[in-house]
Amino acid sequence: MIVSLLVGLSLVNVNVNFPIEPTGEVFVGKYFRDTTYGRYNIDAGMEVSTDLIDVAGQRFFILYRDELESGKQLGNVTFDPFMAHFYLTGGFRFNLFDKATASTYLVHDCTHNIDRVPDSNKIVFNRMTFAAGTPGAFNNRNLERIKEGAWYERLNAKLTYAWFPHDTVIDALNSTDMFHDLQLDVIFDQPIYKNIYASARIYAYFARFRPGWDSDTLDLAPFWEHKFAPQAGIGVLRGDRVALELYLRYWVSANFRLHAPGPWPYLGLHLRFR
């Protein structure tokens, strides 16, 4: 079947290849002050994705991401793993005339308590996700443009929408009461001197919940929660494939109970690669 498909595609002059092009990021950061129960002390995470099949520029990809929240215990323990969040993703990216990228994919992710029994805060997600933006927002393509590219080639943005389906079968697999979420990422890189650059970023996230998700509230109708953070940083390039950046983020929004580090400043290191 695979051979027949490749022969058929070749007859209509469609290019098919199997690229393995990993791209991703690694980050770690520290909150400037302790929070309730010391839960938000240090965050760390990584993400790796790769395209597996390319048909005339349209690609099937897979992605793995994990995030670790670490708190602070009384005494000398400052790195206390508190909660882990894992993401498994697969879907399609579509090239729009080399000017933009659209993507549709399925995400399965879950959060787990660490060394805390029972795992009462475990939340399982299954969502259909749609995203659109500049190519560099999906694969760090703009790293090669930081030194020499025009300003609009160093500006990347992505808008992501996720839908959480609910019915009897799906709800047996899920433990979240989310309906929708919407996320905006905007990042701009500006060369300063040789391989040194400055960056600015805006992150905004909105989530729609079913009523009664939080037992501490009296919400009788679906409600929105949000978080928002601007950040600024300075980084160094290693060729055109790796960038390491020191950044300062300020979580402005405090209205988000799944992950509510706000309003608090946060200092981090961010490695991007392609």
Classify residue 13: in a domain, yes or no.
no
Give the pLDDT confidence of 137-153 residue by residue, as tens digits.
888 878 888 888 888 88
Q: Identify whether 162 is part of a domain.
A: yes
- Chain Cα centroid distance, residue 170: 24
Mean pLDDT, rounded, for 174-203: 88
d(CA 274, CA 143): 8
How many C-beta atoms surround the C-beta of residue 37 within 10 A? 10
Please determine, for residue 165, whether its predicted confidence score (pLDDT) is greater than 60: yes
Dihedral over alpha carbons 147, 269, 257, 49 (to 10 degrees): 60
Q: How many residues does the chain have?
A: 274
- Arithmetic mean of pLDDT, 81-108: 89
- Structural domain includes residue 132: yes
CATH number at residue 41: 2.40.160.40
Residue 197 covered by a domain = yes
- Across 18-134, the runs of DSSP E, i.e. the strands, are 23-31, 42-55, 58-71, 80-96, 100-113, 123-133
- For residue 22, pLDDT beyond 60: yes
Backbone angles phi and psi of 43, in degrees to 5:
-115, 145
Total count of domains within the chain = 1
- Tell me what pLDDT residue 224 has: 72
pLDDT at 170: 60
Strongest mean pLDDT among 5-14, 157-166, 207-216, 241-250: 241-250
Structural domain for 249, as ranges = 18-273
User: What is the tally of helices (H) and strands (E) in the chain?
Assistant: 3, 13
Residue 11 has pLDDT above 50, yes or no: no
